[in-house]
Chains A and B, each alone.
Chain A
Amino acid sequence: MKRFLILVFILILILEISSVFAEEKNPVEVLSSAWESEGRINFIATETNGMYMGGRLNITVSKVFALATGKFRREYLFPSFLAGDLLIDDGHSSYYYQPGRGLLTVGPSLYDPQHRDIHRKLLELIMKNYDISGQPDKFLGRDVTKICISPKNSKNILLALWIDNQTYLILKRERYSPDGKLQEYSFYTDIDFTTIPNERLFVWIKPRRDFRTVERREKFIPLEETKRKDTTLINLSLLQEKGYECISVKEVPRGIAYHFSDGINNIMFFDLQNLPPMPPSVRRITTDGIVYSYWQFDGMSGFAWSYNGRRFLIIGVIERDIIEKIIKRLR
């Protein structure tokens, strides 16, 4: 009897260990698969997003429809002032219709090759600059791999993703600030992978009521071209030391925006014709006759100054030493 019990115990132990090993997947492979599967899965779900900004949690709840052919539809349900708003991405353009404002914003599709390229670069930077760990978990009753992304040699999680083991769809994500505060999250509920949404849902149909249209076309400037024109900005070695790379350059109103990223943290560097009027609450610091305007909330900083006929604006999660060194390097 005693031997029999020991045998049963050993068998259970072997089964448990083997099941754990069977479920555990390589986190880097899971993350890469999740990245690649974006826009390539059919599903219908309810999505909740939350973002802390200005000491306030902003929440949106929407019904989302996705087609494996890179089409997407979002119907806003909450907050009340967004209810009725509609986003359709047909793979070529995105249409964001706000009936309350009588406004349609037409922009590029997030599935276009340029965005996919940026997306791929971000993944490369995450793999280069961060530690990626994974563990089996459950979400919405489904088997998922929880991927945690932390700075190298640090246990502080900056990004956590719950990736479905079957479809590789990111079912839930949480982004934290370096000091461990939750900054942003999103998750799906009521998810349905079996129903394929009707193609007609992804076609923008002009409403009968009057509305005005705003075109929001993105004009990316090839990195090589930018490097030739302005080596100062694009090769900010200081940022490169910190693991940042310039991953895109594009035209913005009255200037050019350089997007630097280390995969998780992003810095937007604007080279502008005119500096925007600053809010009254900014702090102004004057050194060597140059006035710097500085503001910060929820970890996001803004820094603006004029020098030698050029006007710069930096927005992002920026460490103080980076700001100081950028100023020294640029002026």
Chain B
Amino acid sequence: MRCNEVKRLLSAYFDRELPADKSIEIKEHLRSCRSCAKELESIEKIHRLMGAFPILEAGPYFESQIIERIESEKRKRRFSLGLKLAIGFALCGLMLFLITLRYLPSENVTLETTPVLNTYIQEYIETYSGHIGRSNPGLIVSVSSLGETSR
């Protein structure tokens, strides 16, 4: 037998699940092949280590608990998806609201829509804010840009 085939059957050989003729062939091969013998040793070692773990008995409701847990995970995923969708819709709504707000006529006199009137309003504002030594055209720019947040 070749090494590849022996290594594939080693686990079954260890568990005595192979027919007698195959077991004899593998036994013969292991005598002459150091590599396969080492592979068998490592299987034996793993088996010993696993034998050291305590055997846990499943509780009477183990199966139903597993099913409940799976369902719960599904519900969580569905809720998480719903939450994400809700946040997404909320953000879209907020954006739409902001865009609408930007283009809706202001409650105030929409000064920016009547630039000629705006020049006269500026003229008036200057009469009382243009205190000598306190010239502040920026304030008038700021006041006159009602509804505008940037230029």
Contacts and interface: CB of A to CB of B under 8 A. Distances in A.
B49 interface: no
B80 interface: no
B125 to A, nearest CB: 8
Nearest to B134: A186
A111 B129 CA distance: 15
A66 interface: yes
B123 A268 contact: yes
A76 B121 contact: no
B120 interface: yes
B120 A119 contact: no
Interface in B85-114: 105-111, 113-114
A297 B127 contact: no
Given A51-B129, A60-B136, A74-B136, A295 B123 contact: no
Given A119-B132, A252-B123, A316-B124, A277 B137 contact: no
B83 interface: no
A74 B141 CA distance: 14
A90 interface: no
Interface of B: 105-111, 113-114, 116-117, 119-121, 123-124, 127-139, 141-143, 146, 149-151
> How would you classify the secondary structure of chain A's contact residues: helix, strand, loop or mixed?
strand
Given A51-B143, A281-B105, A111 B137 contact: no
Given A96-B137, A276-B114, A79 B127 contact: no
Contacts of B149: 81
B138 A257 contact: no
Interface of A: 38-39, 47, 49, 51, 53-56, 58-60, 62, 66, 72, 74, 76, 79-82, 85, 87, 89, 94, 96, 98, 100-101, 105, 110-111, 115-116, 119, 173, 175, 184, 186, 252-253, 257, 259, 261, 266, 268, 270, 276-282, 295, 297, 300, 302, 313, 315-316
Contact of B138 (A39, A60, A268): A60
Contacts of A282: 109
A313 B146 CA distance: 21
Contact of A110 (B108, B123, B130, B146): B130
Which 4 pairs across A and B sit closest by C-beta, in order of nearness? A54-B108, A276-B116, A276-B117, A38-B133
